[in-house]
Amino acid sequence: MSIATKQPKPLWFDHTRLLALALPMILANITTPLLGLVDTAVLGHMQIPAMLAGASIGALILTQIYWVCGFLRMSSTGLSAQAKGSEAPKVESAKVLWQTIAFSCILGLIILLLQQPILHAGLALTQPNDSVASYLNAYFSTRVWGAPAAMLNLVLIGWLVGQQKTKQVMIIQIIGNLLNAGLDIAFVYGLGFSVAGVALASVIAEYSMTAMALYLALNQVKGVHVARVWFNRAARRVLMKLNGDMLIRNLALQGCLAFLTIQGARYGETSAAVNAILMQFFVLIALGLDGIAYGVEALIGEAKGAKDADEIKRRTYQGLFWSSLFAIAYSVVFYAFGDGIIRLLTEHGDIVDAALPYLPLMVLLPILAHWCFLFDGVFVGLTRASSMRNTMVISALGVYFPIWFFTQQAGNTSLWYALIAFLFARGITLGASFYRLAANDTLCKSSIE
């Protein structure tokens, strides 16, 4: 019996599927900064400024840990998407779900066990006064009990994105954020729980999101029995290798961003304030470009699971098309309204005057940065973690720090030269890695390199 040759679909085919996955994630991303604004507003209206300072530092400590642990979300998405495209999607998806849940629970437990050393390290690094330290301790000691839920949420949200349930993810995140905001007000103003009330609201919201995501995930794999072989030594080694590479990638990225913050503070108070303002431009870019990347992750992972190299390439080029459009739109908005955005973020004239000369760099930022957002999504879908690790380290050590070193006479501006060059280098190196895989016909090769 003859087998018909499979014809590759044209590039323009089915853009709606990518957008249907991306747009809910963009909307979900928008709600997250709004939650931080509610926390800040509730604490900022209290009579003691030390409450806001203590809670902010406590939240920063945990947020940095959770951000570094974002490798859980990325590995879960890639593996889940590939399982969805495999020959036995339900069984393979259940396998990925339970493997990543087990891994995240262990990590959440480790954070709980190490909470005192983590707190003491945070106090040593920030060196707050006694009043701020007291509120920091009250916030952290409550909020840290949400760590297991935070770790579970990373893998559950990642798994659901891989299963292309982005609308459900959006609903879960919006409900969780609204619940957090409502409990903030109830606990602080209604029950007088002070700083601990804000932390408790976050913990309850985190566990509520976990419950909703777990319910959806278990429904998706209903009827599949957990097998012991899913957790044997070989399976653990594969998961550890994948997550370990992504952890190194995250640490390298975090190191570059931390250097910008610390070095900017060394340039003076005004430079530190300017950098805080400019980072909001970066956050705005991430809201849209991350959404496109999420959609690409899910579709490329599914194509890899089906061993369809043509579909992987088609979805990559579709993603590049849309991320380019978003980047151009961002640049136009920053060119037309950049000065208004800066004035909206601060009313201090000296900071506005210091930030305005950076606007040409902010206009350039989306055009040069969108490549790395898009190809991050491609490589998450391919679960090519070692490529993500290597290109990140090369871009950090070979581009970011050398560019800063050789332009540091420009002062704070040198940090932004370095960051933009770093983001562009990440996109170029990942793009080169993708085209090498495509040229060698190894896009569908085993995920763990």
Statement to judge: residues 225 and 254 lie in one domain: no
Domain boundary, last residue among 203, 231, 259: 231
Write b or e for each residue in 388-404: b if 16 or more Cβ atoms lie within 10 A of its Cβ, otherwise e: bbbbbbebbeebbeebb
Statement to judge: residues 185 and 308 lie in one domain: no
Statement to judge: residues 284 and 407 lie in one domain: yes
Query: Which residue positions in the chain have pLDDT lower than 70?
Result: 1-13, 32-49, 446-449
Statement to judge: residues 217 and 309 lie in one domain: no
Statement to judge: residues 200 and 256 lie in one domain: no
Give the end-to-end CA distance of the chain in Å, rounded to a whole number.
37
Statement to judge: residues 372 and 287 lie in one domain: yes
Q: For the chain, what is the total number of helices (H) and then of strands (E)?
A: 17, 0
Statement to judge: residues 209 and 352 lie in one domain: no
Neighbour tally for 350: CB within 10 Å: 12
CB neighbours of 171 closer than 8 A, spacing ≥ 6? Answer: none
* pLDDT per position as a tens digit, 143-171: 899 999 999 999 999 999 999 998 999 99
Residue 91 falls inside a structural domain: yes
* pLDDT per position as a tens digit, 399-446: 999 999 999 999 899 999 999 999 999 999 999 999 999 998 888 886
How is residue 309 annotated by DSSP? Answer: H
Statement to judge: residues 332 and 428 lie in one domain: yes
Statement to judge: residues 359 and 250 lie in one domain: yes
Residue 2 falls inside a structural domain: no
Domain boundary, last residue among 231, 265, 284: 231
Give the three-state DSSP class for 237.
helix
Residue 445 falls inside a structural domain: yes
d(CA 135, CA 195): 7
pLDDT score for 319: 93
Statement to judge: residues 420 and 358 lie in one domain: yes
The number of distinct structural domains making up the chain is 2
pLDDT score for 40: 62
d(CA 415, CA 170): 34
CB neighbours of 196 closer than 8 A, spacing ≥ 6? Answer: 138, 139, 142
Residue 6 falls inside a structural domain: no
Neighbour tally for 31: CB within 10 Å: 16
Q: How many residues are listed for the chain in this entry?
A: 449
Domain boundary, last residue among 197, 231, 265: 231
pLDDT score for 209: 93
Side-chain half-sphere of 149: how many Cα atoms within 13 Å?
Answer: 18
Residue 348 falls inside a structural domain: yes
Task: Residue 109: give the domain boundaries.
Answer: 12-231
Statement to judge: residues 168 and 266 lie in one domain: no
Residue 51 falls inside a structural domain: yes
Residue 23 falls inside a structural domain: yes
pLDDT score for 2: 40
d(CA 60, CA 43): 15
Statement to judge: residues 205 and 247 lie in one domain: no
d(CA 73, CA 158): 5
Segment (H or E) for 47: none
Residue 237 falls inside a structural domain: no
pLDDT score for 114: 92
